[in-house]
Amino acid sequence: MNKRIILIIIIIIFIVILGLAGYYVYNIYLIKPAVNTNLAIINMPSELNINSNSGEVNQNINSAGSQPAINVSKDDKSKIQLLAVIFGQNYGSYSNQTNLTNFDEIYSFMGATMKNWVQTTYKGEIMKQHPQNVYYAIQTKVLNMQITKLDEAKNTASVMLKTQRQEFVESPDKVRVYNQDLLLNLVKVNDNWIVDSAYWQ
């Protein structure tokens, strides 16, 4: 084998190694938190505690069961529960390295006003607070939910989610875990529930 062929083989091997190393670095540092948005196969957390209670939104939702139950149709309850979990986990999980593409997955679950606010204001605020030159990602898991208000005449509902959030700053190895509540206000449009507004508590 002449020297030229050996040199070409060495260069090819070197390029392959560089490619594999680049792929590894991309997946470690730039990949967004994995969130399952497939409605057909989403797995509810096994520890998820779902309650339907009436009255005003209660900041301490550990008191679930102390209030009379809301009379929610089985179909509406299922739709609200599924929407709240999918929306809450996607709304609260993103990375500044992926241009906040997580929001693209849930625009169809938002009312027009909220969608416009997320697109024109909220995403900009996140990127201003966490510019791309410093790695930042956050992943959110819903642990508990409560349907706190339901007005069948107005087709509106409120849901309080208890979530656990993992925040990664500078590196996927630097993580801070904390709990945070998320209040969702829903409206029913054409027999489907959508999120009209969302507030981190």
Range 6-30 burial, b when 16+ CB lie within 10 A, else e: eeeeeeeeeeeeeeeeeeeeeeeee
Position 48 scores a pLDDT of 43
Position 63 scores a pLDDT of 33
Position 174 scores a pLDDT of 87
Structure tokens at 19: 């490619």
Cα distance between residue 163 and residue 165, in whole Å: 6
Each residue's pLDDT, cut to its tens digit, for the chain (201 residues) gives 677 777 778 888 878 776 666 655 444 444 434 433 333 333 344 444 444 333 333 333 333 333 334 455 667 888 899 999 999 999 999 999 988 988 998 999 999 999 999 999 999 999 999 999 999 999 999 999 999 998 888 999 999 999 999 999 988 888 999 999 999 999 999 889 999 999 999
Position 30 scores a pLDDT of 41
Cα distance between residue 165 and residue 111, in whole Å: 25
Cα distance between residue 4 and residue 92, in whole Å: 55
Cα distance between residue 124 and residue 117, in whole Å: 10
Cα distance between residue 194 and residue 157, in whole Å: 10
